[in-house]
Amino acid sequence: MDLGIAGKWALVCAASKGLGKGCAQALVREGVHVVITARGDDALQTTAAELRTLNPDVQVRAVAGDITTPQGRAAALAAAPQVDILVNNAGGPPPGDFRDWDRDAWIRAIDANMLTPIELIKATVDAMANHGFGRIVNITSAAVKAPIDVLGLSNGARSGLTGFIAGLARQSRLAGRNVTINNLLPGAFDTERLRVTMQGAAAKSGMSIEAIAERRRQAVPTQRFGTVEEFGAICAFVCSVHTGYLTGQNLLVDGGAYPGTF
């Protein structure tokens, strides 16, 4: 299937590794020019070089900076001549017990996983509507649908974003002009974040990391973790010309782990 988005410009946030990188790879394969961001410049430049090799016909611009800061967002936005596709992503908040989280911890989580995507949407969405095409994908978490106790900061901040998006995506001045906004909810994907989380669980429980990983794999009906390539391919489809009638949705990508009918 031709996704029909060659030549468009995408801003893919937090994309030197993991799910964001998977999205950038899939978009570049489709001929989309990308601006990618991450905090560390070394990994970002390596990823940018890989993307250029994947498709020499596209432009790849790498902007190092913290996307959760006004300066980081301004630099990322300035690097793209226009933003037709926006993939919102940032690191997830740390696990813990809510008794230990003070106001600053909550503000950091809300800033990163709720207000940053909202600010980037605000900066880009009206121009998308004027052009008659726009695709916004927010990478959230399966924890929005099935909360994970120790990830309370994530459950809370991402649910706030989800509620806001549910209203915004249904504005006829956006949906009626071919601008869609959807959330992708990853379950367990084989990324550095998952490995770090499992290392923490292994240290706490005294089990080996391989035993922890195996237990988590067995809890997923597919019996394995997702790959960033699979995640990227779904993201690219949601960003395609074929999805103008798909908006305001929360798409679980979790290997069937969520046990509900709906």
Contact residues for ligand NAD (CB under 6 A)?
A: 14-20, 37-40, 66-68, 89-92, 139, 141-142, 186, 188-189, 191-194
Is the CB of residue 11 less than 8 Å from the CB of residue 86? yes
- C-beta of 66 vs 84, nearer to ligand NAD: 66
Is the CB of residue 158 less than 8 Å from the CB of residue 212? no
Q: How far is the CB of 176 from ligand NAD (least distance, A)?
A: 30
- C-beta of 139 vs 174, nearer to ligand NAD: 139
Q: How far is the CB of 239 from ligand NAD (least distance, A)?
A: 17
- C-beta of 68 vs 155, nearer to ligand NAD: 68
Q: How far is the CB of 17 from ligand NAD (least distance, A)?
A: 4
Distance CA 262, CA 248 (A): 16
Is the CB of residue 5 less than 8 Å from the CB of residue 32? yes
Is the CB of residue 13 less than 8 Å from the CB of residue 90? yes
- C-beta of 57 vs 214, nearer to ligand NAD: 214
Q: How far is the CB of 175 from ligand NAD (least distance, A)?
A: 25
Q: How far is the CB of 22 from ligand NAD (least distance, A)?
A: 8
Distance CA 253, CA 232 (A): 11
- Would you list the DSSP string of 134-183? EEEEEE--GGGTS--GGGHHHHHHHHHHHHHHHHHTT-HHHHTTTEEEEE
- C-beta of 33 vs 73, nearer to ligand NAD: 73
Strands (E), 168-222: 179-186
